[in-house]
Amino acid sequence: MTMQLDAGRPDAGPAQVIRFQPRPAPGFTSPDLIELSNWGGPGQRVEIDQAGEPLGQFAMLFRGGAPWASWAISREGAMILAWDCVSLADIGRFETMRAALQALPGAEVPALRSRTLAQRWAACPDSLQG
């Protein structure tokens, strides 16, 4: 794109404007956040890092009222990464947040609240799913 600067200025002349496309910040998708918000039972909680920069967004999952996180989850591109915070063991890489949560040892993952919502989401074009 070329612009003409104000002709009254001594440095007037054509200028080249370069557009920069911001790199999307790595983070959880809306379905990821829904699954995380549904996770857990009494004494369990999820804390989500809202910043997400520069390494991406993390979720820390606590159980049994413990002051330290039992597991951590992050998104890396299309995959969800899960690991044990105590042993630092890699639990795995998963295609969905639900699969990652189900792989956590001893964790309880509630059933989907609305199969209709899940079916609608699965029918959305990939461009809308984030």
Confidence at residue 71, expressed as pLDDT on a 0 to 100 scale: 92
Confidence at residue 13, expressed as pLDDT on a 0 to 100 scale: 66
Contact 59, 46 (CB under 8 A): yes
What CA dihedral angle connects 30, 32, 37 and 41, to 10 degrees? 160
Taking residues 94-119, report their average pLDDT: 75
Cα-Cα end-to-end distance for the chain: 30
Confidence at residue 57, expressed as pLDDT on a 0 to 100 scale: 83
Taking residues 85-90, report their average pLDDT: 90
- Give domain limits for the chain: 30-128
**Inter-CA distances, 87 with 29, 70, 72, 83, Å:** 27, 9, 12, 9
pLDDT tens-digit series, residues 4-14: 555 556 566 67
- Pairing of β 90-94 and β 2-4: unpaired
